Amino acid sequence: GQNIDQPTEMTATEGAIVQINCTYQTSGFNGLFWYQQHAGEAPTFLSYNVLDGLEEKGRFSSFLSRSKGYSYLLLKELQMKDSASYLCAVRDNVYGQNFVFGPGTRLSVLP
Amino acid sequence: EADIYQTPRYLVIGTGKKITLECSQTMGHDKMYWYQQDPGMELHLIHYSYGVNSTEKGDLSSESTVSRIRTEHFPLTLESARPSHTSQYLCASSEPTTGQETQYFGPGTRLLVL
């Protein structure tokens, strides 16, 4: 089966750091992706991990542990515009190299 | 900057009507996808295509059909719209030959069936 879990909602304060966790169980694994989706808009790509470790891209970092089926997205120096849903997705090489999406974590950044 | 387009952006239509949602991309990507997403809910894959003349059903049962006659074009058709089809439909594309193969999403079509 395929299952991706994320917290439903999180709240943080402007300027703070927040970590959004994602655990996955999929038939196959060929990369983990994080997307940002503002309300009413399409998802936009944030980061990609295929090997264990941390990938850093500006204020955003993503970590992967394949043995634990675990990833997190770290957002630093939070800004109001970071209020959005964050989607964790796994590309499953057993499932036709398609993407399996988690339910998304709705992040609210408060002043 | 992704070049993937969807039309219409918003559509309100009566039950029983036939509708086609258009999706086009100018990136030359072979793989294209259609997702359905209800507000605040996860994306569900309803159709995908590996290239011209290739169409596959996704993990969510859908009464829609798709076609892929040209690389850049992947329309989705509902033969008879019903209120249960009310949702947001997102088209995406990716290029499997690159290592990263991220998906690029179109802006979406919000469909309301009365």
Q: What is the pLDDT of residue A1?
A: 66
Q: Is the pLDDT assigned to residue A107 strictly greater than 90?
A: yes
Two tokens at A101? 């999406």
Contact A39, A84 (CB under 8 A): yes
Closest CA to B92 of B9, B28, B23: B23
What is the rounded end-to-end Cα distance, in angstroms, of chain B?
Answer: 35
Q: Which of A45, A103, A106 is nearest residue B102 as measured by Cβ atoms? A: A45
Contact A58, A51 (CB under 8 A): no
Band (pLDDT 50/70/90 cuts) for residue A97 is confident
Residue percentage of chain A with pLDDT more than 90: 79
Mean pLDDT value across residues B41-60: 90
Q: What is the pLDDT of residue B98?
A: 61
Integer-rounded Cα Rg, in Å, for chain A is 13
Exposed / middle / buried, residue A29 (Cβ in 10 Å: 0-12, 13-18, 19+): middle
Is A108 an interface residue toward B (CB < 8 Å)?
no
Compute the Cα dihedral for A58, A29, B76, B28 and give only its sign: positive
Is B5 an interface residue toward A (CB < 8 Å)?
no
User: How far apart are the C-alpha atoms of A66 and A20, rounded to whole Å?
Assistant: 17
- For residue A68, give Cα distances in angstroms to A22, A25, A54, A56, A63: 11, 10, 15, 20, 12
Closest CA to A37 of A104, A91, A109: A104
Q: Is the pLDDT assigned to residue B93 strictly greater than 90?
A: yes
Query: Taking a contact as any Cβ pair under 8 Å apart, which residues of chain B between 70 and 89 contact chain A?
Result: none
Q: Is the pLDDT assigned to residue A76 strictly greater than 80?
A: yes
**pLDDT tens across A12-65, in order?**
999 999 999 999 998 888 899 999 999 888 899 999 999 999 999 899 999 999
Q: What is the pLDDT of residue B1?
A: 56
